[in-house]
Amino acid sequence: MGCDGSKVADVIDTNPDVPPEENDFSELVTDTIRSTWPLLSDDIENTGIKVFLRIFYEEPKIRNVFKRFGEMDEIELRRSPIFKEHAYRFMRVVDDLVDSMDQPKTHIQQNLMMLGAKHATFEGFRIEYFEAYSKSLIDVWEYTIGEEFIPEVRESWTEFFDYLVKYMCQGYNVFINETDVTCNGDDHFRFE
């Protein structure tokens, strides 16, 4: 999208330190997520494909953000190496976050804020799309996990996704506010 990745890092680095103890995951949440993650990551690419198909169903406008495969129908998407690679990379991010739940929260928060800031550089991406991702993830998780998707599992993953969305939105907003650039709608920008 013509954005220099270092500009995103520069903007986020100017943000005040995030409190390290805020929103720590309880042992129950961590254990629940880690015990159900293998069911989801067993076929990580296919799970990612299901997530993106669900996202496109929930919020069709998100397709416009993906110039390389946004116009494809479901059959073409399932066959597209570009789409499959994107779905896989997305799920690897979730995998990395699940693995890092025990790391200092400032590290996780910083990474999520960077990811949110990066999304602010995507032409047509709107902050409310993060909620469509979160809802779609829960829907796919419920379908994939099946009868083991009990209320405790739903609540744990919902807390996890709420946490992700919170810090991604913060990063998105910091980028928008610090660069004084509007990235939504028909506006497009490039760092020269």
pLDDT digit string, tens, across residues 22-67: 446 899 999 999 999 999 999 999 999 999 999 999 999 999 999 8
Q: 20 lies in a domain?
A: no
Question: Whole-model pTM?
Answer: 0.78
Record the tokens describing residue 105, joined without a space: 């929260």
Report whether pLDDT(1) > 80. Answer: no
Q: 190 lies in a domain?
A: no
For the chain, the domain total comes to 1
Record the tokens describing residue 107, joined without a space: 């590290």
Q: What's the pLDDT at 29?
A: 94
What are the backbone dihedrals phi and psi of residue 72, each rounded to the nearest 5 degrees, phi first? -75, 150
Q: 66 lies in a domain?
A: yes
Q: 142 lies in a domain?
A: yes
Query: pLDDT confidence of 3, banded at 50, 70, 90?
Result: very low
What CA–CA distance (Å, rounded) separates 50 from 69? 15
What is the span of the domain harbouring residue 167?
A: 5-14+25-179
pLDDT digit string, tens, across residues 7-34: 445 544 544 454 544 446 899 999 999 9
Q: What's the pLDDT at 15?
A: 47
Q: What is the CATH number of the domain that holds 88?
A: 1.10.490.10
Contacts by 159-165 with C-beta closer than 8 Å and gap 24+? Answer: 159/25, 159/29, 160/25, 160/29, 160/33, 160/97, 161/134, 161/137, 162/134, 163/23, 163/25, 164/97, 164/112, 164/134, 165/130, 165/131, 165/133, 165/134
- What one-letter code names the amino acid at 167? Y
